[in-house]
A and B are shown apart, each in its own frame.
Chain A
Amino acid sequence: MARRKPFRWHIAVFLAPAVLVYTAIMIVPLFGTLNLSLFNAAEQGRVFVGLRNFATLFGDPRWSASFWNALGNNAWFFLVHMLVQNPVGVALAALLSSPRLRGAAFYRTAIFIPTILSFVIVGFVWKLILSPIWGIAPGMLDAVGLKSLFAPWLGREGTALTTLALISVWQFVGIPMMLIYAALLTIPDEVIEAAEMDGVTGWSQFWKIKLPLILPSIGIISVLTFVGNFNAFDLIYVTQGALAGPNFSTDILGTFLYRTFFGFQLQIGDPHMGATIATAMFAIILLGVCFYLFAIQRRLRRYQF
C-alpha cells in the first residue's frame, strides 16, 4: 500500500499552537474588521450596505473633512520621521561604527533608552519640559539668550503636530541607529580595506562605499517607519487627549479610529465606521508595504553580498 510517507505528526504539533493563536486572534479579526466595514447597524441587527460606509467616509463633508485632516497630518508626521529620524539615526550609527571608538557600547545603550520608555512617560515628560509654567525649556533658551524663540509649541495649532513628531523622533531614533549599526558591522573588512587602498577614506568612504551597502537596511527602516507612523496613536493620545487638540490639528488616523470606534464625549462609538477607518488604514499600509516590496526591494537586491 502507499506507505511511502507516513504523516509526520510532530510537524503539526510543533506548528499548531502558533498557527492557531495567530490565526484566531490576528488574521480572523483582521478579516472580520474588513468585513464589518461592509455592514451598518440597523433596528433588526445589522444590514449589508456594501461600500456605502466608504462613500460616507470620503463623501459626507463631516466625515471626509476629519479623514483628510487625519491623513494629511499623518503624512506630515511620517515625513518628519523620514527627514529627521532616519538621517540622524544613520549618522549616529556611522559615528558609532567608526573603528577603535571607545565607549561605543555606552553611547549605544544610552541613545536607545528613550525607545524603551512608554508613551505615557515620554508624552508627559515632554509636556512638562515644554510647559511655559514649569519653564525648563524657556529657562534653558534664556540661558543662551534665545528666550524670544520660546512659544507654547504643543498648544499652538501651527506647531503642535511638528513638535509631537519631533518628540516621537527623539524617542525612536534608537531603532534606525541600531539596525544601521548592525548593517555597518556586517560589511566585510576586505571591502573597507580595498577602499582604503584606493585612498577612499572618511566621509567619501561613507558616501561611496558604505551607504550603497546599507541601502537595503535603510529600505527596511523606511517601511517600518511607515507602518509604525500610520498606526500611531499613543503619543498623541497621552499628550493631547482623544480629541487631538488644539482643534484637531494633531489628529492622525490612529486617534481618529479610536474616537470613531470607541466614542468620545459628544460622539457615540460606531463599530462599523470604526471598521471602515481601520480598513482604510489597512489599505494605506498595504499599499506602502507593496510599494516597498515591488518597487524598492527588488532594485536594492543587487547591492547585497
Chain B
Amino acid sequence: MSQARRSVSRSLAAHAVLLLYTVIALFPVFVVVINSFKSRRAIFADPLAVPTAGTFDLIGYRTVLAQGDFLLYFQNSLIVTVASLFFVLLFGAMAAFALSEYRFRGNMLMGLYLALGIMIPIRLGTVAILQLMVASGLVNTLTALVLVYTAQGLPLAVFILSEFMRGVSDDLKNAGRIDGLSEYTIFFRLVLPLVRPAMATVAVFTMIPIWNDLWFPLILAPSEATKTITLGSQVFIGQFVTNWNAVLAALSLAILPVLVLYLIFSRQLIRGITAGAVK
C-alpha cells in the first residue's frame, strides 16, 4: 500500500520534471513559430500570445518567398544533403560489408583507419581542403560540398553499419553462395535489405549535421547560386534584421524540413543507438 503510493508520487515527480524540461526545450521554437504568423504590431505588443483572428498575418511569409532566393537555397540544400547521404550510405555500406564479411590482411587496420575520422573533425583540414578545391576548380560548386560531406559522414557510417552487418546470419549468405550468387549480388540483394533499419539510423545522424552546416558552405560555396539554406538564412537575417516578420517566417521555414524528417525517423534513431553505437 505505502509502496504503491510512493511509486505513484515518484512517477508524478518524474512527469513534472520531464514536462518542465520539455517546455524549456520547445519554448524558443514555439515563440518563433507563433510570432511568424502575427502582424508586426502584435509581435511587439505581446510576444507570447498565440495569433488570433485580429493579429494573424502572413506578411512575413510573403516577404520571404518574394524577396529572398529562398527556394533556390532550399533546392541547393536538398541536392547537397540527398547526394551526400546517398554516397555515404552506399560507400559506407560497401566498406562496412568488406570489413565485417571478409577476413583479409589489414582488416583491423583498415577499420581503425576509417574510424579515425569519428574523433578527428574534418574541419581541421579546411585550409588544405580549400586549396584542393581551388586547384581542381570546384570552389563554388555543390560538388565540393557533396565530396566534403561524404568524407565527413563515412567514418560513423562504416562504424555503425559494420556493427550491424556482423549480426546478419552467415547461413543466409552461404546459401546464396551455394546457389552461385556473386559477392556483389549477395551484398545488394541479401544483405542491404536486411540492414535497412541501421541505414535509417545512419541517415539521421548523417543528415542533420549536413543540413545544418554553416562552416563549409561559408568557405567552399558562398556564391549566390550555391548558397545552402543555412547560409542563406544567416545572410538573410543580417540583411533584414529590422523586418521581424520576414526573419521569423524565414526561421520557421528553415525549422520545418528537419523537424518533419526527425519526426519520421525518431523511432529508428533510438533503436539504432541501442543496438549499435553504444556497446
Contacts and interface: CB of A to CB of B under 8 A. Distances in A.
Interface of A: 8, 10-11, 13-15, 17-19, 21-22, 24-33, 35-36, 92, 95-96, 98, 100-103, 105-122, 124-126, 128-129, 134-136, 139, 170, 173-174, 178-179, 181-183, 185-186, 202, 217, 220, 223, 227, 231, 233-234, 237-238, 254, 257, 261-262, 271, 274-275, 278-279, 281-282, 285-286, 289
Contacts of A115: 208
Contact of B184 (A10, A134, A231): A10
B239 to A, nearest CB: 13
Looking at chain A's contact residues, is the secondary structure mostly helix, strand, loop, or mixed? helix
Contacts of A202: 10
A117 B29 contact: yes
Contacts of A275: 127-128
24 contacts: A10-B184, A15-B99, A17-B94, A22-B114, A25-B132, A30-B120, A31-B128, A92-B18, A108-B270, A116-B262, A119-B212, A120-B233, A121-B254, A121-B255, A135-B47, A136-B48, A178-B270, A179-B277, A202-B10, A231-B123, A233-B215, A238-B234, A261-B127, A275-B128
Contacts of A117: 29, 212, 255, 258
Given A32-B125, A111-B18, 11 more contacts: A8-B104, A15-B110, A24-B151, A30-B125, A95-B14, A117-B255, A185-B274, A186-B274, A220-B278, A262-B219, A286-B120
Contacts of B97: 14
4 smallest beta-carbon distances between A and B, as pairs? A32-B128, A29-B125, A25-B151, A118-B212
A57 to B, nearest CB: 14
Interface string B85-124: 0010011101101110010100000100110110111111
A33 B121 CA distance: 13
A26 B122 contact: yes
Interface residues of B, number: 87
B120 A182 contact: no
Contacts of A223: 119
A238 B158 CA distance: 32
Contact of B214 (A8, A234, A278, A281): A234
Given A120-B254, A262-B219, A21 B17 contact: no
B125 A33 contact: yes
B223 interface: no
B147 A25 contact: yes
Contacts of A15: 94-95, 98-99, 110
A170 B104 CA distance: 46
B237 interface: yes
Given A15-B94, A98-B14, A29 B128 contact: yes
B17 A26 contact: no
Contacts of B254: 118, 120-121
Interface string B210-254: 011011000100000000001001100100000000010001001
